Amino acid sequence: MSKIHVTTTVNGDPVEFLADPRDTLLDCLRDQLGLTGTKEGCGTGDCGACSVTVDGVLVCSCLVLGAEAQGKQIGTVEGIANGSELHPLQRKFIEHAALQCGFCTPGILVAAKALLEQNPDPTETEVRYWLAGNLCRCTGYDKIIRAVLDAGAEMRGAN
């Protein structure tokens, strides 16, 4: 099966790769582009560890084909920080001990960033429902929710 030449933008950088028609965007990010921050926890869109944004829309990259990335703007965990300056969410996750093993963390950060961009002042319930597609087995979510709420407050200038 011949491969498809894909030209796209990841975290603002122009990239190109050859995708097997069956390769997911997740496979292409990890195996073709070496962006292994995005994780595969299930491959069926249930766990959210592979969350990325495609043209600003939050998706599971295991449910998107690599070929579909053509001409899009892809955002991954590697693009959340501005150089060495961490995004408030990243700082708050460390500060609140909101990660234990850290495997779900990239997907949750990408998802939480998308939430705060669309709803800068979410309630606890809104955060919980927004992140209901991101499984974490270590933390019981408590400190994750606190970190997201605190990051939102900081970004609003509320503290």
Partner 1 sequence: MPKDDLKTGYRIVGTRPDRPDGLDKVTGRARYGADISAPGMLHAAVVRSPHAHARIIRIDASKALVLDGVKAVITRADFPTGLTGEDWNLQENTIAGDVALYDGHAVAAVAATSKLLAQDAARLIEVVYEVLPHVIDVDAAMQPDAPVIRAGTADHSVPEGMHPNVVKYIDFGHGDLEAGFAAADLVRAQTYKTEATHQGYIEPHACLGQMGADGKGEMWVCTQGQWYIRRMCSAVLGTDASQLRVTPSEIGGGFGGKTTIFMEPLALALSRKAGGRPVKLVMSRAEVLRATGPTASASMDVKLGMKADGTLTAAQVNFRMQGGAFIGSSPVGEALSCALACYTIPAVHHEGYEVLANRPKAAAYRAPGSPMAAFAVESLLDEMCRELGLDPLAVRLKNAAREGAKASYGPTYNRIGLVETLEATMAHANLKVPLGPNQGRGVASGFWFNHGGETSVSLAIGEDGTVTVSVGTPDIGGSRASLGMMTAETLGIPYEAVRVNIVETGALGVNEPTHGSRATFASGLAAVEAAKQAIKTMCARAAAEWGIDADAVEWIDGAAAPAGPNAGKFPPMSIAEIGAKMGSTGGPISGHHEVTAGGFGASFGAHVVDVEVDPETGRTTVLRYLVVQDAGRAIHPAYVEGQYHGGAVQGIGWALNEEYVYGADGRLQNTVFLDYRIPVASDLPMIDTVIVEVPNPGHPYGVRGVGETGITPPLPALANAIAAATGARLRSLPMSPPKVLAAIKAKANGQG
Residue numbers of the site for partner 1 (CB under 8 A)? 20, 22-23, 27, 30-31, 35-44, 46-47, 49, 76-78, 80-81, 86, 89-90, 93-97, 99-106, 109, 124-125, 127-129, 131-146
- Taking the complex as a whole, the smallest distance from the CB of residue 8 to partner 1 amounts, in Å, to 18
- Taking the complex as a whole, the smallest distance from the CB of residue 23 to partner 1 amounts, in Å, to 8
- Taking the complex as a whole, the smallest distance from the CB of residue 2 to partner 1 amounts, in Å, to 13
Helix axes 142-156, 88-95, angle to 10 degrees: 140
Tell me the CA distances in angstroms from 116 to 70, 113, 126, 128, 159, one per residue in order.
Answer: 27, 5, 11, 13, 16
CB nearer to partner 1: pick between 71 and 116: 116
CB nearer to partner 1: pick between 84 and 159: 84
Q: Which two tokens stand for residue 156?
A: 């609003």
Q: What is the dihedral of CA 144, 103, 79, 133, to 10 degrees?
A: -60
CB nearer to partner 1: pick between 20 and 154: 20
CB nearer to partner 1: pick between 71 and 137: 137
- Taking the complex as a whole, the smallest distance from the CB of residue 17 to partner 1 amounts, in Å, to 14
At residue 14, the 3 state secondary structure works out as strand
